[in-house]
Amino acid sequence: MKNIAIIMGGYSSEYKISLTSGNVVYETLDRSKYTPYRIHIFKNKWVYVNDEADEFPIDKNDFSINIDSFKITFDCVFNAIHGSPGEDGFMQSYLELLEIPHTSCNMYQAAITFNKRDCLSVLKPYGIKTAESYFLNLGDTINETDIVAKVGLPCFVKANKAGSSFGVSKVHKQEDLQNAIKVAFKEDDEIIIESFLDGIEVSVGVITYKGKTKVLPITEIVSENDFFDYEAKYEGKSQEITPARLTKEQENKVNKEAKKVYEVLKMKGFSRSEFIFKDGDPHLLEMNTVPGLTKASILPQQAAVAGISLADLFDNAIEEALRSLT
């Protein structure tokens, strides 16, 4: 029996979604193989929470817990933290220093994919197409005319390092830029402003499955809102169609690009990349390395279409993490 710590919560605005994902993992893991432990990671406390909601502090020296004078350590950590510190490299660094296997990508990959600007810069030389973009750091002079000249209107204003749902605005008029920039700066001290790509939006899950890179069936995103925002993503204001209504040529192109991105970045574990088709070609928006893991989330939906159950998906993630140590 292997002890599995499921880390959930986190320091970002997405902590509630993370708690939901983590609890789904907790409920789904095969009890004949694993003993799962819910671990809440918050700025003010790292605790194990049992089924009676009692809390036991984590010893950060070796990531262990002490229950009734009995020390419990973990064979593997299942990472279900969306945003910081689970998706940006901090937890990965900590666990790697302690030599504890974990289900997510490595530290560098987490840091680079969490930083939209850096991720797109790394991928550009490999011919990965992206939207036109303009970057701002907190304190920079904001020149709306320059921004519009570079990216056009409408455009998207996004926090650079804050998941994919918070601090995002679609701007139709130049006079609305300042307010959108203010909203993004509430989430992060760096922002990215991108041209609007008008085309089919798809989400592509790529995972390491039984030792090989596997591209899952593609999901088409049809948002009822102006774009795929928090409400569309988590509150049912969108249609997620899997498999996507693409031509064979479009499907082949985006599959190839998603696999290339995963392999160029030397990824492992889960990933979900968002693309928009423009002039027939998929343009990468971003990659998430700790995507939602509830039954209704996109990646589990894709896995189900591929004939992979939630239990199998999670079991494979742990097996892959344990294998990476050997």
Secondary structure element (H or E) that encloses residue 304, with its range: helix 298-305
State the CB neighbour count (10 A cutoff) for residue 160: 22
Encoded tokens for 116: 């939209």
With contact defined as beta carbons under 8 Å apart, do 306 and 242 qualify? no
The fold of the 112-129+198-323 domain, in CATH, is: D-amino Acid Aminotransferase; Chain A, domain 1 (3.30.470)
Question: 3-state class of 23 per DSSP?
Answer: helix
Cα separation, 61 vs 64, in Å, equals 8
* CATH code reported for the domain at 2-103: 3.40.50.20
- Does the domain at residues 133-195 carry the CATH identifier 3.30.1490.20? yes
Digit-by-digit pLDDT tens for the chain (326 residues) are 999 999 999 998 889 999 999 999 999 999 999 999 999 999 999 999 999 999 999 999 999 999 999 999 999 999 999 999 999 999 999 999 999 999 999 999 999 999 999 999 999 999 999 999 999 999 999 999 999 999 999 999 999 987 556 788 999 999 999 999 999 999 899 999 999 999 999 999 999 999 999 999 999 999 775 654 444 444 556 789 999 999 999 999 999 999 999 999 999 999 999 999 999 999 999 999 999 998 889 999 999 999 999 999 999 999 999 997 65
For residue 297, what are the contacts with CB-CB under 8 A and spacing of at least 6?
A: 21, 291
Going from N- to C-terminal start, the domains of the chain cover 2-103, 112-129+198-323, 133-195
